[in-house]
Structure 1
Amino acid sequence: MPQQLGFDLPSRTALDRDAFFVAPCNAVALGMIETWPNWPGGKLILTGPQGAGKTHLTHVWAQTSGATIISAADLVGGMVPELAQNHVAVEDVPDIAGNVDAQNTLFHLHNLLLAEGRNLLLTGTKAVTDWSITLPDLDSRLRGTTAAAVDAPDDTLLSALLVKLLGDRQLAPKPEVISYLLDRMDRSFAAAIDLVERLDAASLAQQKPITRPFAAAVLDKDTPDT
Protein backbone atom coordinates (compact mmCIF):
# COMPACT_ATOMS: atom_id res chain seq x y z
CA MET A 1 0.00 0.00 0.00
CA PRO A 2 1.35 3.46 -0.83
CA GLN A 3 2.44 5.60 2.09
CA GLN A 4 1.23 9.05 2.92
CA LEU A 5 4.26 10.97 4.10
CA GLY A 6 4.23 13.86 1.72
CA PHE A 7 4.48 17.30 3.25
CA ASP A 8 5.93 20.71 2.55
CA LEU A 9 9.61 20.51 3.56
CA PRO A 10 12.49 22.63 2.32
CA SER A 11 13.98 19.61 0.57
CA ARG A 12 10.82 18.35 -1.14
CA THR A 13 7.13 18.97 -1.65
CA ALA A 14 5.16 15.76 -2.03
CA LEU A 15 1.39 16.05 -2.25
CA ASP A 16 0.62 13.21 -4.62
CA ARG A 17 -1.15 9.91 -4.00
CA ASP A 18 2.03 7.85 -3.67
CA ALA A 19 3.08 10.08 -0.77
CA PHE A 20 -0.11 9.47 1.20
CA PHE A 21 0.22 7.23 4.25
CA VAL A 22 -3.15 5.53 4.84
CA ALA A 23 -4.29 5.19 8.46
CA PRO A 24 -7.64 4.79 10.25
CA CYS A 25 -7.81 8.55 10.81
CA ASN A 26 -7.91 9.31 7.07
CA ALA A 27 -9.01 6.10 5.35
CA VAL A 28 -12.66 7.10 4.94
CA ALA A 29 -11.77 10.49 3.51
CA LEU A 30 -9.26 8.94 1.11
CA GLY A 31 -11.86 6.39 0.07
CA MET A 32 -14.26 9.19 -0.82
CA ILE A 33 -11.59 10.99 -2.85
CA GLU A 34 -10.91 7.77 -4.73
CA THR A 35 -14.61 7.24 -5.53
CA TRP A 36 -14.61 10.38 -7.69
CA PRO A 37 -16.34 11.05 -10.06
CA ASN A 38 -19.17 9.18 -8.34
CA TRP A 39 -19.74 11.65 -5.50
CA PRO A 40 -23.41 12.07 -4.51
CA GLY A 41 -24.62 15.26 -6.15
CA GLY A 42 -21.19 15.82 -7.69
CA LYS A 43 -19.70 17.37 -4.56
CA LEU A 44 -17.83 16.48 -1.37
CA ILE A 45 -16.75 18.19 1.84
CA LEU A 46 -13.59 17.28 3.78
CA THR A 47 -13.46 18.31 7.42
CA GLY A 48 -10.77 17.97 10.06
CA PRO A 49 -8.28 19.88 12.22
CA GLN A 50 -5.46 21.93 10.78
CA GLY A 51 -2.57 19.71 9.74
CA ALA A 52 -4.67 16.54 9.46
CA GLY A 53 -4.11 16.17 5.71
CA LYS A 54 -7.05 17.92 4.02
CA THR A 55 -4.78 19.94 1.72
CA HIS A 56 -2.87 16.81 0.77
CA LEU A 57 -6.09 15.03 -0.17
CA THR A 58 -7.25 18.11 -2.07
CA HIS A 59 -4.08 18.00 -4.16
CA VAL A 60 -4.49 14.26 -4.72
CA TRP A 61 -7.95 14.91 -6.13
CA ALA A 62 -6.79 17.91 -8.19
CA GLN A 63 -4.03 15.84 -9.79
CA THR A 64 -6.56 13.16 -10.68
CA SER A 65 -9.35 15.43 -11.88
CA GLY A 66 -7.47 18.46 -13.20
CA ALA A 67 -9.33 20.64 -10.72
CA THR A 68 -8.47 24.21 -9.82
CA ILE A 69 -7.69 24.84 -6.13
CA ILE A 70 -8.62 28.17 -4.55
CA SER A 71 -8.97 29.51 -1.00
CA ALA A 72 -12.49 30.53 -0.08
CA ALA A 73 -11.23 33.95 1.05
CA ASP A 74 -9.94 34.61 -2.49
CA LEU A 75 -13.32 34.16 -4.15
CA VAL A 76 -14.70 37.18 -6.00
CA GLY A 77 -17.76 37.30 -8.21
CA GLY A 78 -16.11 37.97 -11.55
CA MET A 79 -14.10 34.75 -11.48
CA VAL A 80 -17.05 32.35 -11.39
CA PRO A 81 -17.44 31.73 -15.16
CA GLU A 82 -13.72 31.02 -15.61
CA LEU A 83 -13.46 28.83 -12.51
CA ALA A 84 -16.49 26.82 -13.56
CA GLN A 85 -14.73 25.66 -16.72
CA ASN A 86 -12.94 23.04 -14.58
CA HIS A 87 -13.66 21.03 -11.46
CA VAL A 88 -12.94 23.18 -8.40
CA ALA A 89 -11.65 22.68 -4.85
CA VAL A 90 -12.40 25.50 -2.41
CA GLU A 91 -10.33 25.35 0.78
CA ASP A 92 -11.08 26.78 4.22
CA VAL A 93 -14.74 27.64 3.64
CA PRO A 94 -15.34 28.63 7.31
CA ASP A 95 -12.97 31.56 6.71
CA ILE A 96 -15.75 33.35 4.78
CA ALA A 97 -18.32 33.11 7.57
CA GLY A 98 -18.30 36.91 7.83
CA ASN A 99 -17.79 37.64 4.13
CA VAL A 100 -21.13 38.00 2.36
CA ASP A 101 -19.56 38.67 -1.05
CA ALA A 102 -17.42 35.52 -0.91
CA GLN A 103 -20.42 33.48 0.23
CA ASN A 104 -22.46 34.75 -2.71
CA THR A 105 -19.60 33.89 -5.06
CA LEU A 106 -19.34 30.37 -3.66
CA PHE A 107 -23.11 29.96 -3.98
CA HIS A 108 -23.05 30.91 -7.67
CA LEU A 109 -19.94 28.82 -8.29
CA HIS A 110 -21.60 25.82 -6.64
CA ASN A 111 -24.69 26.15 -8.82
CA LEU A 112 -22.82 26.74 -12.09
CA LEU A 113 -20.40 23.85 -11.54
CA LEU A 114 -23.18 21.38 -10.89
CA ALA A 115 -25.26 22.72 -13.78
CA GLU A 116 -22.26 22.19 -16.08
CA GLY A 117 -21.70 18.65 -14.79
CA ARG A 118 -18.48 19.50 -12.97
CA ASN A 119 -17.48 18.65 -9.43
CA LEU A 120 -16.84 20.65 -6.29
CA LEU A 121 -14.65 19.80 -3.29
CA LEU A 122 -14.82 21.96 -0.17
CA THR A 123 -12.76 21.86 3.04
CA GLY A 124 -13.04 23.22 6.55
CA THR A 125 -11.65 22.57 10.02
CA LYS A 126 -15.05 22.11 11.69
CA ALA A 127 -18.18 20.13 11.02
CA VAL A 128 -20.34 21.80 8.37
CA THR A 129 -22.97 22.70 10.97
CA ASP A 130 -20.36 24.89 12.68
CA TRP A 131 -19.21 26.81 9.59
CA SER A 132 -21.46 29.79 10.49
CA ILE A 133 -22.41 30.47 6.88
CA THR A 134 -24.93 33.32 6.92
CA LEU A 135 -26.25 33.01 3.36
CA PRO A 136 -29.24 30.66 3.83
CA ASP A 137 -29.24 29.19 0.31
CA LEU A 138 -25.52 28.41 0.50
CA ASP A 139 -25.80 27.05 4.02
CA SER A 140 -28.58 24.65 3.02
CA ARG A 141 -26.57 23.37 0.06
CA LEU A 142 -23.49 22.80 2.21
CA ARG A 143 -25.47 20.97 4.88
CA GLY A 144 -26.86 18.72 2.18
CA THR A 145 -23.39 17.80 0.88
CA THR A 146 -21.73 14.48 1.71
CA ALA A 147 -18.92 15.08 4.21
CA ALA A 148 -15.91 12.97 5.19
CA ALA A 149 -13.76 13.67 8.24
CA VAL A 150 -9.98 13.58 8.32
CA ASP A 151 -9.24 13.00 11.99
CA ALA A 152 -6.13 14.02 13.89
CA PRO A 153 -3.38 11.37 13.66
CA ASP A 154 -2.94 8.83 16.43
CA ASP A 155 0.39 7.96 18.08
CA THR A 156 1.13 5.12 15.69
CA LEU A 157 0.80 7.36 12.65
CA LEU A 158 2.65 10.27 14.27
CA SER A 159 5.50 7.96 15.22
CA ALA A 160 5.78 6.66 11.66
CA LEU A 161 5.62 10.23 10.40
CA LEU A 162 8.44 11.43 12.65
CA VAL A 163 10.67 8.52 11.67
CA LYS A 164 10.00 9.14 7.96
CA LEU A 165 10.51 12.91 8.10
CA LEU A 166 13.71 12.54 10.10
CA GLY A 167 14.92 9.81 7.76
CA ASP A 168 14.32 12.10 4.77
CA ARG A 169 16.88 14.41 6.35
CA GLN A 170 19.35 11.60 7.05
CA LEU A 171 18.54 11.74 10.77
CA ALA A 172 18.03 8.54 12.74
CA PRO A 173 17.52 9.20 16.46
CA LYS A 174 16.95 6.28 18.80
CA PRO A 175 13.40 5.02 19.46
CA GLU A 176 13.48 6.58 22.92
CA VAL A 177 13.80 10.01 21.27
CA ILE A 178 10.72 9.37 19.13
CA SER A 179 8.75 8.34 22.23
CA TYR A 180 9.93 11.43 24.05
CA LEU A 181 8.82 13.69 21.20
CA LEU A 182 5.43 12.00 20.94
CA ASP A 183 4.73 12.65 24.61
CA ARG A 184 5.39 16.37 24.22
CA MET A 185 4.22 17.45 20.76
CA ASP A 186 0.85 18.63 19.53
CA ARG A 187 -1.11 15.86 17.83
CA SER A 188 -1.02 17.06 14.24
CA PHE A 189 0.93 16.59 11.02
CA ALA A 190 1.75 20.29 11.05
CA ALA A 191 3.32 20.03 14.52
CA ALA A 192 5.41 17.03 13.43
CA ILE A 193 6.71 18.89 10.40
CA ASP A 194 7.58 21.96 12.44
CA LEU A 195 9.32 19.88 15.11
CA VAL A 196 11.45 17.99 12.59
CA GLU A 197 12.46 21.25 10.92
CA ARG A 198 13.53 22.69 14.29
CA LEU A 199 15.48 19.57 15.24
CA ASP A 200 17.21 19.42 11.87
CA ALA A 201 18.16 23.11 11.96
CA ALA A 202 19.56 22.84 15.49
CA SER A 203 21.45 19.63 14.68
CA LEU A 204 23.05 21.20 11.62
CA ALA A 205 23.89 24.44 13.39
CA GLN A 206 25.54 22.72 16.35
CA GLN A 207 26.84 19.64 14.52
CA LYS A 208 25.33 17.35 17.16
CA PRO A 209 23.21 14.19 16.95
CA ILE A 210 19.59 14.26 18.09
CA THR A 211 19.63 12.71 21.54
CA ARG A 212 16.91 12.94 24.16
CA PRO A 213 18.63 15.84 26.02
CA PHE A 214 19.19 17.58 22.69
CA ALA A 215 15.52 17.17 21.77
CA ALA A 216 14.48 18.43 25.21
CA ALA A 217 16.57 21.55 24.75
CA VAL A 218 15.10 22.22 21.31
CA LEU A 219 11.58 21.86 22.64
CA ASP A 220 12.46 24.26 25.45
CA LYS A 221 14.23 26.59 23.00
CA ASP A 222 17.43 26.31 25.08
CA THR A 223 20.98 25.41 24.03
CA PRO A 224 21.60 21.67 24.45
CA ASP A 225 24.31 20.44 26.72
CA THR A 226 24.83 17.18 24.80
Structure 2
Amino acid sequence: MADTETLDDLVRRVDPDRWLASRFISDAAARADIIALYGLNYELARVAGGVSNALMGEIRLTWWREAMEEIAAGKPPRKHPNVEALAASKFDPNALAALSEARFTDLDEGPLKDEAAVMAYVDGTAGALAVLAARRLDPSADPHAVKGAARAWGLSGLWRLKQAGRARLPSDWTQADVQRRVEDQLKLARAEVKALPVAAFPAVAPAALARSYVGQRELGELEKKARLTLAVATGRF
Protein backbone atom coordinates (compact mmCIF):
# COMPACT_ATOMS: atom_id res chain seq x y z
CA MET A 1 0.00 0.00 0.00
CA ALA A 2 1.53 3.28 -1.11
CA ASP A 3 1.99 6.08 1.40
CA THR A 4 -0.66 8.23 -0.29
CA GLU A 5 -3.11 5.37 -0.89
CA THR A 6 -6.09 5.13 1.44
CA LEU A 7 -7.56 1.83 2.55
CA ASP A 8 -10.57 2.52 0.34
CA ASP A 9 -8.25 3.11 -2.62
CA LEU A 10 -6.45 -0.16 -1.89
CA VAL A 11 -9.64 -2.23 -1.81
CA ARG A 12 -10.88 -0.55 -4.96
CA ARG A 13 -7.66 -1.60 -6.71
CA VAL A 14 -7.27 -5.17 -5.39
CA ASP A 15 -10.87 -6.26 -4.80
CA PRO A 16 -12.94 -4.15 -7.20
CA ASP A 17 -16.08 -6.29 -7.13
CA ARG A 18 -16.47 -6.21 -3.35
CA TRP A 19 -15.51 -2.53 -3.37
CA LEU A 20 -18.23 -1.79 -5.91
CA ALA A 21 -20.79 -3.68 -3.82
CA SER A 22 -19.76 -1.61 -0.79
CA ARG A 23 -20.87 1.55 -2.61
CA PHE A 24 -24.44 0.42 -1.93
CA ILE A 25 -23.89 0.73 1.83
CA SER A 26 -25.44 4.05 2.81
CA ASP A 27 -24.08 4.25 6.36
CA ALA A 28 -20.58 5.75 6.16
CA ALA A 29 -19.31 4.15 9.37
CA ALA A 30 -20.53 0.71 8.35
CA ARG A 31 -19.04 1.13 4.88
CA ALA A 32 -15.67 2.08 6.39
CA ASP A 33 -15.75 -1.01 8.61
CA ILE A 34 -16.58 -3.24 5.63
CA ILE A 35 -13.69 -1.74 3.66
CA ALA A 36 -11.35 -2.48 6.59
CA LEU A 37 -12.64 -6.06 6.60
CA TYR A 38 -12.01 -6.45 2.87
CA GLY A 39 -8.57 -4.94 3.33
CA LEU A 40 -7.79 -7.63 5.89
CA ASN A 41 -9.05 -10.31 3.52
CA TYR A 42 -6.69 -9.03 0.84
CA GLU A 43 -3.72 -9.05 3.21
CA LEU A 44 -4.45 -12.63 4.24
CA ALA A 45 -5.25 -13.93 0.76
CA ARG A 46 -2.04 -12.59 -0.76
CA VAL A 47 0.28 -14.21 1.76
CA ALA A 48 0.59 -17.61 0.06
CA GLY A 49 1.39 -16.11 -3.32
CA GLY A 50 3.98 -13.71 -1.92
CA VAL A 51 6.29 -16.01 0.02
CA SER A 52 8.97 -18.46 -1.07
CA ASN A 53 8.20 -21.09 1.55
CA ALA A 54 5.49 -22.14 3.98
CA LEU A 55 7.40 -20.98 7.06
CA MET A 56 7.47 -17.39 5.85
CA GLY A 57 3.76 -17.62 5.14
CA GLU A 58 3.08 -18.93 8.63
CA ILE A 59 5.02 -16.02 10.11
CA ARG A 60 3.00 -13.46 8.16
CA LEU A 61 -0.38 -15.05 8.93
CA THR A 62 0.58 -15.36 12.59
CA TRP A 63 1.40 -11.64 12.59
CA TRP A 64 -2.15 -10.82 11.50
CA ARG A 65 -3.73 -13.32 13.86
CA GLU A 66 -1.78 -11.97 16.83
CA ALA A 67 -2.60 -8.39 15.83
CA MET A 68 -6.30 -9.23 16.06
CA GLU A 69 -5.83 -11.13 19.33
CA GLU A 70 -4.06 -8.11 20.83
CA ILE A 71 -7.04 -5.92 19.94
CA ALA A 72 -9.32 -8.47 21.60
CA ALA A 73 -7.14 -8.30 24.71
CA GLY A 74 -7.49 -4.52 24.86
CA LYS A 75 -3.94 -3.72 23.76
CA PRO A 76 -3.12 -0.75 21.51
CA PRO A 77 -3.33 -1.70 17.82
CA ARG A 78 -0.16 -2.27 15.86
CA LYS A 79 0.99 0.63 13.67
CA HIS A 80 -0.59 -0.52 10.45
CA PRO A 81 -3.47 1.33 8.71
CA ASN A 82 -5.59 -1.79 8.33
CA VAL A 83 -5.01 -2.97 11.90
CA GLU A 84 -5.87 0.47 13.24
CA ALA A 85 -9.03 0.61 11.13
CA LEU A 86 -10.14 -2.80 12.39
CA ALA A 87 -9.39 -1.80 15.99
CA ALA A 88 -11.76 1.14 15.54
CA SER A 89 -14.44 -1.00 13.87
CA LYS A 90 -17.36 -2.84 15.38
CA PHE A 91 -16.07 -6.27 14.40
CA ASP A 92 -15.27 -8.91 16.99
CA PRO A 93 -11.46 -9.17 16.77
CA ASN A 94 -11.63 -12.84 17.75
CA ALA A 95 -13.68 -13.49 14.62
CA LEU A 96 -11.09 -11.57 12.60
CA ALA A 97 -8.35 -13.73 14.11
CA ALA A 98 -10.29 -16.78 12.91
CA LEU A 99 -10.12 -15.42 9.35
CA SER A 100 -6.34 -15.44 9.69
CA GLU A 101 -6.36 -19.00 10.98
CA ALA A 102 -8.42 -20.22 8.03
CA ARG A 103 -5.77 -18.99 5.60
CA PHE A 104 -3.10 -21.38 6.87
CA THR A 105 -4.65 -23.91 4.48
CA ASP A 106 -3.35 -21.73 1.62
CA LEU A 107 0.18 -22.75 2.56
CA ASP A 108 -0.43 -26.46 1.98
CA GLU A 109 1.15 -27.89 -1.15
CA GLY A 110 -1.13 -29.20 -3.87
CA PRO A 111 -4.87 -28.82 -4.40
CA LEU A 112 -7.64 -29.44 -1.91
CA LYS A 113 -8.40 -33.15 -1.97
CA ASP A 114 -12.16 -33.32 -2.49
CA GLU A 115 -15.46 -31.46 -2.49
CA ALA A 116 -15.78 -31.58 1.30
CA ALA A 117 -12.37 -29.94 1.66
CA VAL A 118 -13.24 -27.30 -0.94
CA MET A 119 -16.50 -26.37 0.78
CA ALA A 120 -14.86 -26.28 4.21
CA TYR A 121 -12.21 -23.94 2.83
CA VAL A 122 -14.76 -21.70 1.10
CA ASP A 123 -16.93 -21.56 4.22
CA GLY A 124 -13.92 -20.57 6.35
CA THR A 125 -12.79 -17.83 3.98
CA ALA A 126 -15.42 -16.30 1.67
CA GLY A 127 -18.22 -17.63 3.87
CA ALA A 128 -16.86 -16.27 7.14
CA LEU A 129 -16.13 -12.94 5.46
CA ALA A 130 -19.70 -12.68 4.15
CA VAL A 131 -21.15 -13.50 7.57
CA LEU A 132 -19.06 -10.81 9.26
CA ALA A 133 -20.00 -8.24 6.62
CA ALA A 134 -23.71 -9.10 6.70
CA ARG A 135 -23.93 -8.95 10.48
CA ARG A 136 -22.07 -5.65 10.56
CA LEU A 137 -24.65 -4.23 8.18
CA ASP A 138 -27.56 -5.72 10.13
CA PRO A 139 -26.90 -7.59 13.41
CA SER A 140 -30.04 -9.67 12.85
CA ALA A 141 -28.66 -11.22 9.65
CA ASP A 142 -28.81 -15.02 9.74
CA PRO A 143 -25.44 -16.60 8.79
CA HIS A 144 -27.33 -19.31 6.90
CA ALA A 145 -28.83 -16.68 4.59
CA VAL A 146 -25.43 -15.90 3.06
CA LYS A 147 -24.09 -19.45 2.74
CA GLY A 148 -24.99 -20.28 -0.86
CA ALA A 149 -24.01 -16.85 -2.19
CA ALA A 150 -20.66 -16.96 -0.41
CA ARG A 151 -19.98 -20.46 -1.71
CA ALA A 152 -20.77 -19.44 -5.28
CA TRP A 153 -18.45 -16.46 -4.98
CA GLY A 154 -15.74 -18.49 -3.28
CA LEU A 155 -15.84 -21.21 -5.92
CA SER A 156 -15.53 -18.64 -8.69
CA GLY A 157 -12.52 -17.22 -6.88
CA LEU A 158 -10.86 -20.62 -6.73
CA TRP A 159 -11.44 -21.03 -10.44
CA ARG A 160 -9.76 -17.69 -11.08
CA LEU A 161 -6.81 -18.81 -8.98
CA LYS A 162 -6.54 -21.92 -11.13
CA GLN A 163 -6.56 -19.79 -14.26
CA ALA A 164 -3.75 -17.72 -12.73
CA GLY A 165 -1.67 -20.82 -12.11
CA ARG A 166 -2.43 -21.45 -8.42
CA ALA A 167 -4.36 -24.71 -8.44
CA ARG A 168 -6.37 -25.14 -5.25
CA LEU A 169 -9.33 -26.98 -6.75
CA PRO A 170 -9.16 -30.79 -6.98
CA SER A 171 -7.07 -31.73 -10.00
CA ASP A 172 -9.92 -33.62 -11.68
CA TRP A 173 -12.36 -30.69 -11.57
CA THR A 174 -13.05 -29.25 -15.00
CA GLN A 175 -14.53 -25.87 -15.81
CA ALA A 176 -17.88 -27.58 -16.32
CA ASP A 177 -17.64 -29.09 -12.83
CA VAL A 178 -17.05 -25.68 -11.28
CA GLN A 179 -19.83 -24.11 -13.35
CA ARG A 180 -22.27 -26.76 -12.15
CA ARG A 181 -21.35 -26.24 -8.53
CA VAL A 182 -21.61 -22.46 -8.84
CA GLU A 183 -25.07 -22.81 -10.38
CA ASP A 184 -26.11 -25.19 -7.58
CA GLN A 185 -25.02 -22.69 -4.94
CA LEU A 186 -26.70 -19.78 -6.69
CA LYS A 187 -29.92 -21.78 -6.79
CA LEU A 188 -29.68 -22.26 -3.02
CA ALA A 189 -28.75 -18.61 -2.57
CA ARG A 190 -31.86 -17.37 -4.34
CA ALA A 191 -33.98 -19.01 -1.66
CA GLU A 192 -31.67 -18.21 1.26
CA VAL A 193 -31.30 -14.46 0.66
CA LYS A 194 -35.04 -13.97 0.96
CA ALA A 195 -34.40 -14.13 4.70
CA LEU A 196 -31.54 -11.62 4.52
CA PRO A 197 -32.27 -8.05 5.68
CA VAL A 198 -32.15 -5.54 2.85
CA ALA A 199 -29.34 -3.59 4.52
CA ALA A 200 -27.14 -6.69 4.60
CA PHE A 201 -27.48 -7.59 0.91
CA PRO A 202 -24.30 -5.76 -0.23
CA ALA A 203 -22.35 -8.39 1.73
CA VAL A 204 -23.37 -11.06 -0.78
CA ALA A 205 -24.03 -8.95 -3.88
CA PRO A 206 -20.75 -9.95 -5.63
CA ALA A 207 -22.21 -13.44 -6.05
CA ALA A 208 -24.23 -11.90 -8.90
CA LEU A 209 -20.93 -11.92 -10.84
CA ALA A 210 -19.85 -15.47 -9.95
CA ARG A 211 -21.29 -17.08 -13.05
CA SER A 212 -19.38 -14.76 -15.36
CA TYR A 213 -16.03 -15.71 -13.84
CA VAL A 214 -16.48 -19.41 -14.53
CA GLY A 215 -18.07 -18.91 -17.93
CA GLN A 216 -16.57 -18.22 -21.30
CA ARG A 217 -16.64 -14.43 -21.06
CA GLU A 218 -15.91 -12.03 -18.25
CA LEU A 219 -18.06 -8.95 -17.93
CA GLY A 220 -16.93 -5.43 -18.69
CA GLU A 221 -16.99 -2.81 -15.95
CA LEU A 222 -20.30 -1.33 -17.04
CA GLU A 223 -21.88 -4.79 -17.16
CA LYS A 224 -20.61 -5.55 -13.67
CA LYS A 225 -22.06 -2.32 -12.32
CA ALA A 226 -25.38 -3.06 -13.99
CA ARG A 227 -25.58 -6.60 -12.56
CA LEU A 228 -24.63 -5.49 -9.07
CA THR A 229 -27.09 -2.62 -9.17
CA LEU A 230 -29.88 -4.94 -10.30
CA ALA A 231 -28.99 -7.53 -7.65
CA VAL A 232 -29.02 -4.96 -4.84
CA ALA A 233 -32.18 -3.28 -6.12
CA THR A 234 -34.11 -6.56 -6.34
CA GLY A 235 -32.39 -8.62 -3.65
CA ARG A 236 -31.95 -11.38 -6.22
CA PHE A 237 -29.20 -13.03 -8.27
Q: Same fold (TM over 0.5)?
A: no
The structure with the greater share of residues assigned to strand is 1
Larger CA Rg, structure 1 vs 2: 1
Higher RCO structure (Cα 8 Å, ≥6 apart)? 1
TM-score (norm 2): 0.25
TM-score (norm 1): 0.26
The structure with the greater share of residues assigned to helix is 2
